Structure 1
Amino acid sequence: MTTPGFRPTHVVPQHGMPAWEAPGPDRPTMPLDPLLPVQLVERRGDWGHVRCANGWSAWVDGRHLVAVPQDPPTTGDPEARTADPRPLLARAEQTLAHYRVAVEELAGGGLDGESFRVRTRGLRIGIVVDGESVWLYDTDHGRWVYGDGTRLSTYATDDEPRAVAPDPGHAPTQVVSPDGP
């Protein structure tokens, strides 16, 4: 059953993700299912507090959530190292062109499956265009950036989450990977 007024802002990545009762490793909970729509309700450093359609909530590594392309990042987000979107767009075009050539050779019988896998290994692009907004994956820096046509700002990163500054009266947050502290 969907909670009234629920409007997803993000979805869980395609492989699912671990979740915690609080932003720290002390109280893990059930992992979130792949591509589950969630609403990001709070951020604390890299941690994100999400609510699911049924009202259940959990803390996750908020940087790995996939944004529903309706609400771009606020202008206060840190700018990306590459402020001009054109170099990333050119790299995406080149990568797609290399992949397209390999697909044509595979389809035409010029490549076998293993050769195709070798030829395309390491190719990676990500791009979402929604009107004037664009989300690009920057493979050099392992992050998603948002662009409005004139500049880019970092939206999500592949880095491990950083601990949140201690809150008076609470124990410091320790960040862990799924393999442990």
Structure 2
Amino acid sequence: MTGPGFRPTHVVPPQGMPAWAAPDPSGAAVPLDALLPVQLVDRRGDWGRIVCANGWSAWVDGRLLVAVPKDPPTADAPLGHTPDPRPLLARAESALARYRTAVEDLADGGLDGEAFRQRTRGLRIGVVVDGSDVWLYDDEEGRWVYGDGTGLSTYAADAGPRAAAPPARAPTRSVVPEGER
């Protein structure tokens, strides 16, 4: 496990990416989930060694990582205008409970592998808690948010900003115009 000093510097791109035990693509690759917060700790050419919140380390194509524009707000800095984090925490708890129920049904023999995949299809949960800091995946908005228990700010997004609500920060990646997708 990493200590309380883990601070993501990047996130995995929205389509996910492969990771290797060494900077050698001929080895076995492990897929990384989309928008997983990681810390880039070393570079060797195009290769980047990352560390995840749980302490797991791997090598990836460092060119594909999405840089986080800056560190999360400090305790004395304003978090922005996103309200109360409790509704997002409640949605994460509900999604985790649905996943736990599906896992229990699978383990008890009430579901086969295909039924388990059907029941969990589209379910996305992301929660990293580090003391008073929390990173939550907001599946309704397609973004990771950072909070300190009193409010939230967007940390990384699946897509560009919505026209109705401009973000407090610049987008974390290029936006493809609607007609070019």
TM-score (normalizing by structure 1): 0.55
> Shift in Å at residue 59 of structure 1?
7.3
Cα 1:108–1:141 change in 2 (3 A) is same
Q: Which has the higher contact order (CA 8 A, sep 6+)?
A: 1
Structure 1 gaps of 5+ residues are 1-6, 17-33, 40-51, 162-173
Cross-structure match for 1:111: 111
Q: What is residue 43 of structure 2 aligned with on the other side?
A: 53
Three-state SS of the structure 1 residue aligned to 2:87 is helix
Q: 1:15 corresponds to which residue?
A: 17
Q: Does 1:97 align with 2:97?
A: yes
Change (3 A) 1:139 1:66: farther
Contact 2:11–2:66 (Cα < 8 Å) also in 1:
no
Partner letter of residue 53 of structure 1?
A: R
TM-superposed deviation, 1:61? 7.4
Q: Mind listing any 5+ residue stretches in structure 2 that lack a counterpart?
A: 1-5, 19-30, 33-37, 49-61, 162-173
Is the alpha carbon distance of 1:10 and 1:105 closer, same or farther for their aligned partners in structure 2, counting shifts above 3 Å? Answer: same
Structure 1 ranges of 4+ moved more than 6 A: 55-61
The structure with the larger Rg is: 1
| CA apart distance, 1:175 | 5.9
Residue aligning to 2:151: 151
Superposed, 1:17-166 pairs within 5 Å as 37-38=39-40, 53-54=43-44, 62=66, 71-73=71-73, 75=77, 78-80=80-82, 83-160=83-160
CA shift for structure 1 position 145: 0.6
Counting matched residue pairs gives 127
Three-state SS of the structure 1 residue aligned to 2:40 is: strand
Distance 2:94 2:11 in 1: 29
